[in-house]
Chain A
Amino acid sequence: MSAPNQAGWRPAMGEGGEAAVTQTASGDRGLMLEEPLIFELGRPGTCGIDMEEPAGAPVAGLAKFLRAEAPALPGLSEPETVRHYTRLSRQNYAIDLGPFPLGSCTMKHNPRLNEKMARLPGFADVHPLQPQHTVRGAIGVIVELAEWLVTLTGMHSVAMTPKAGAHGELCGLLCIRAALEARGDAREVILVPESAHGTNPATAAFAGYRVENIPATPDGRVDLAALKARLGPDVAAVMITNPNTCGLFERDMKAIADAVHAAGGLVYCDGANFNAIVGKVRPGDLGIDAMHINLHKTFSTPHGGGGPGSGPVVLSAALTPFAPLPFAQRTPDGTVRLIEEEDAPADHPQSFGRMTAFHGQMGMFTRALTYILSHGADGLRQVSEDAVLNANYVLRSLDDVLDAPFGKSGPCMHEALFSDEGLPDGFTTLDIAKGLIDEGFHPMTVYFPLVVHGAMLVEPTETESKAGLDRFITAMRSLAARARNADPSLKSAPHLAPRRRLDETLAARKPVLTWSGDQPRT
């Protein structure tokens, strides 16, 4: 009589495990799947879409422009296409898989209701240049979202067209520039804290300003006295991030704004960290004149592997006339419209112009409005409270094993900042980050802000459960211990990810940016 369970586990199978199989014939290892390029898989003649060959010749005038051959692009059938991209997707970490504690990125859960609403044909299948009376619902979404953003920030209006945060910063600065020029007071300098994200000085330089640094105090905030000493008739504006890039609230924000205004300048606020205060604090009450909001951060629109984003800019009453076209508005009789070039001379004559074709990232507006309606005023307030609570929980659970440069001076806001102070020689922030990959997490933001050595900026967001935080904390404590004990395997982490550390030097010295295997290089 034969024993039961012939095909299942037997005690004798204990030995070996993963180490027993060093090479597979396929190159795959279990569910860790390798995937070639479409150029190695596909064939130009293959097509995964059924189309009939049209009858009839092209119009005569086209003859001299016709291309001789079809483009040299590979095609795949539908099953092969689905498989290719599904296999590739499995080599990505994502919010849907686990904590994504990137400081200043606000990697919160992306609700699927957002996706469903964005795909309603009334939003997805309408053209930006249809007559406005055929798209009142879509324009209504833009205006309703704008009204929420204005109320949440305590400002006057919103420029909805900027395509991303950096684009929004540019929009805000161009409004400021236009306003100063309109009052005959063109100024040349913008002051930016050293801790600011690189987009701030880059944008200011692009807008034609000279950028000067504002120093920080030992407790990580803008030095108000130094700022006041520098203000003068040549300072157009100050760009402040609040909470700042160290995760700290600028306590002197109102005093900063008052000082800048008294000197004739304006205050631009980088709203990347709005998640810390949304629903609890209105930046308008602190004296700002313009602030961009990252819908893909605070308002949950998906990051999509790098974009698209959306960066609407809330504006004061004084800056509103200069907002770019098209400008979304609810008229006194309640109808919604977009002011474009045709009506601008009468209704929005001081606009600084157009920043982009069409009218903004509508797909992100539907998602963000869906999210805002889901949370409501009470839910959004809970968002910022839980975000700040989670970050402080992480801070206090790790500040005995990692240096927290501002940990002694009080609580953090929505993100916790650590430095590499105290790590033994030869062990760096990068090693901790790469070790975190082996533990199954995406690393936190590293080496930003620049003002802290070996910075590690952790933003858990409010959608992280306590259990998820505890798992992350356990992993971080283990990594800190391995570093303290000079564990050499940390220096070559990660070991368990789809790829080990990649040669970025080679990629920069000898850039290979396209596939040329089946094509002669020109």
Chain B
Amino acid sequence: MTTYYTKDHEWIAVDGNTGTVGITDYAQSQLGDITFVELPPEGSAVKQGDAPCVVDSVKAASDVYAPVSGTVSDVNDALADAPELVNTDAESGGWLFRVTLADAGELGALMDRAAYDDYVKGL
């Protein structure tokens, strides 16, 4: 399994043809207390750059962009009762949705951890 990162602070952990998507710990710290997560319907199609998911904090609603194109295969149902998982565990238990990749080649445009950490330092 390899994890890639985007400039919009999403991560995608790819295992075979499935990617698990979430937001980074840096992102959750910027957003403050997460109050609600609007997840995409299972089975819906997403294109790289779409915003199928919205993360609400008290005073803001932030779009989560799809790092790759594909079909939503699963969503994190635990977030309905415990949106705070995105704060406490953004990069594992606070995952948002899973996607079946349409084109693994899209991953080439994303960053690895070291590049993402450098990127965040420069912000």
Contacts and interface: CB of A to CB of B under 8 A. Distances in A.
Interface of A: 447, 504-505, 508-509
Interface in B22-58: 33, 35-36, 56, 58
Interface in B57-73: 58-59
Interface of B: 33, 35-36, 56, 58-59, 83-84
A466 B35 CA distance: 43
Question: Which has the most chain A C-beta neighbours within 10 Å: B36, B58, B83, B84?
Answer: B58
Pick the 10 closest A-B CB pairs, nearest first. Answer: A508-B35, A505-B33, A504-B58, A509-B35, A508-B58, A505-B58, A505-B35, A509-B83, A508-B36, A509-B84
A438 B108 CA distance: 55
A504 B59 CA distance: 9
A447 B58 CA distance: 14
Contacts of B56: 508
14 contacts: A447-B59, A504-B58, A505-B33, A505-B35, A505-B58, A508-B35, A508-B36, A508-B56, A508-B58, A509-B33, A509-B35, A509-B36, A509-B83, A509-B84
Nearest to B83: A509
Contacts of A447: 59
Nearest to A504: B58
Contacts of A509: 33, 35-36, 83-84
Contacts, number: 14
A32 B58 CA distance: 29
Given A447-B59, A505-B58, 12 more contacts: A504-B58, A505-B33, A505-B35, A508-B35, A508-B36, A508-B56, A508-B58, A509-B33, A509-B35, A509-B36, A509-B83, A509-B84
Nearest to A508: B35
Nearest to A447: B59
Contacts of B36: 508-509
Nearest to B36: A508
Nearest to B58: A504
Question: Which has the most chain A C-beta neighbours within 10 Å: B35, B59, B84?
Answer: B35
A490 B56 CA distance: 27
B83 to A, nearest CB: 6
A308 to B, nearest CB: 25
A505 B58 CA distance: 6
A372 B42 CA distance: 58
A508 B84 CA distance: 11
Contacts of B59: 447
A504 B36 CA distance: 13
Nearest to A505: B33
A127 to B, nearest CB: 42
Contacts of B33: 505, 509
Nearest to A509: B35
A447 B60 CA distance: 12
Question: Which has the most chain A C-beta neighbours within 10 Å: B33, B59, B83, B84?
Answer: B33
A505 B83 CA distance: 11
A504 B34 CA distance: 11
A448 to B, nearest CB: 11
